[in-house]
Chain A
Amino acid sequence: MAQQCPDSQALLEAARSGDVDAFANLFEQHRPILHRVAYRLVGPNDCDDVVMDTYLKAWQALPRFRGRSSLRTWLCRIARNCGLDLLRRERRQQTGRIVNDDPDSEPMLDRIPDEHSPAPDREAALHDLGKVLQQTMQELSEAHRTVLLLREVDGLSYREIAAATGASMGTVMSRIFHARRSLRRKLEASEQWDG
């Protein structure tokens, strides 16, 4: 069972018993990261809905939560299911998005920004790195890009990424390894890598 600090344990028990304020206090800390996960999975337009659905489902399912995983991992898994539900609904409405239930080829509607932040003054060369990196990221498959961003930018653990994407831990490890290697090779080819 995942360890909880005494305060969290008390809040969890209160939330399990139906205390909405305790639920809000306990789960607010996970909202920023869940927002990022939802953004990676369904994009900017629907991520707020996915987060809300995730919390509503978590609220309903909390009495059955056994604590076999951490709350964050549990939320990531619910968010993935909510994201898939939403994409299925949108597919039925023929908005043009396609959902594949196969976890190994699962599409992630991840968005790579069209513009990047100004390069740090200390090294103008990082400006070039930004351009190359942006292009290289766009060349990665959606699944590889998503796991890499969830890991490197959002700081999720492998277990949480597996829960959020529906892939096994081994698949997540493999995807991150290949994404990093691909990134490195392309940076080497563009002479941006010297390490």
Chain B
Amino acid sequence: MGRLTWHDIRQQLRQQDSVPPPPPATEFWTRFRARARQRLRPEPTPVRQRARPWAHPLPRLAWAAALLILTGLAVLLLQRDPTPGSGPLVAVAGRANASAIEEIEVFVPYSSMMIMQDAETGSAIVWLADLDVSAKL
């Protein structure tokens, strides 16, 4: 047969798929409303009014002092002559356990792009999946 692509495979998988449709919306939400009424619900906590401990009057002074000390330490560290090993140690300590996976939205259906950053090796892996822009949709 001709050239078979992942597009063909996907189409075939979708044809074979036998997930039934969900129940009608009216029926579902009627049942939902009946059951939701029986459930207690916590009061909403507005996102913009989250607790901010540094904004309270008493700890404010402590926060300011801590900030001042940290700033001073940072300035001192920056002013010191670089000695072998001292710079990288700070940097490495700052990066400890910084491995991360970031998924980036791409506008090709079923495609994905991700960047994995490995703190241990200092490497980054770019993951591209199904980035076939010529695929028929």
Task: Please measure, in the bound complex, the distance between the C-alpha atom of A52 and the C-alpha atom of B40, giving whole angstroms.
Answer: 16
Contact A158 B112 (CB under 8 A): yes
Q: Chain A 169-195 against B: per-residue CB contact (8 Å), 1 yes, 0 no?
A: 110010010001001000100001111
A170 CA to B115 CA, complexed, in Å? 11
| B56 is an interface residue with CB less than 8 A from chain A | no
Contact of B12 among A126, A157, A194 (CB under 8 A): A126
Say whether B35 contacts A63, CB under 8 Å: no
Q: Tell me what chain A mostly uses at the interface: helix, strand, loop, or mixed.
A: helix
| Cβ–Cβ contact B12 & A133, under 8 A | yes
Given contacts A56-B36, A129-B4, contact A149 B25 (CB under 8 A): no
CA distance A24 to B42 in the complex (A): 18
Decide if B127 touches A56 in the complex (CB within 8 Å).
no
Are B3 and A194 neighbours in the complex by a CB distance under 8 Å?
yes
Which chain B residues lie closer than 8 Å to A133 at the CB level? Answer: 9, 12-13, 16
Contact of B13 among A44, A149, A159 (CB under 8 A): A149
Count of A interface residues, CB-CB < 8 Å: 58
Q: Separation in Å of the B46 CB from the closest CB of chain A? A: 9
Chain B, residues 24-39, CB within 8 Å of chain A (1/0): the string is 0100110111011001
Taking CB atoms, residues of chain A closer than 8 Å to B112 are 157-158
Does A32 sit at the interface, judged by CB under 8 A?
Answer: yes
The answer to whether A129 and B12 touch across the interface, beta carbons within 8 angstroms, is yes
Task: Judge if B47 is at the interface, Cβ distance under 8 Å.
Answer: yes
Secondary structure dominating the interface of B: mixed
Greatest chain A CB density within 10 A among B5, B14, B16, B31 is at B16
When chains A and B are docked, how far (Å) is the Cα of A72 from the Cα of B101?
19
- Contact in complex: A39, B45 (CB < 8 Å): no
Taking the closest CB of chain A, its distance from the CB of B66, in whole angstroms, is: 26
Shortest CB distance A98–B (Å): 23
Contact A153 B13 (CB under 8 A): yes
Give the shortest distance, in Å, between A170 (CB) and chain B (any CB): 7
B120 in the interface (beta carbon within 8 A)? no
What residues of chain B have their CB less than 8 Å away from a CB belonging to chain A?
1-6, 8-10, 12-23, 25, 28-29, 31-33, 35-36, 39-45, 47, 101, 103, 109-110, 112, 114, 116, 127, 129
Q: Can you list 19 A-B pairs with a CB-CB distance of less than 8 A?
A: A18-B44, A20-B36, A24-B33, A31-B28, A39-B19, A48-B23, A63-B41, A116-B16, A126-B1, A129-B8, A134-B16, A149-B17, A151-B110, A152-B10, A153-B10, A158-B114, A169-B114, A170-B116, A183-B9
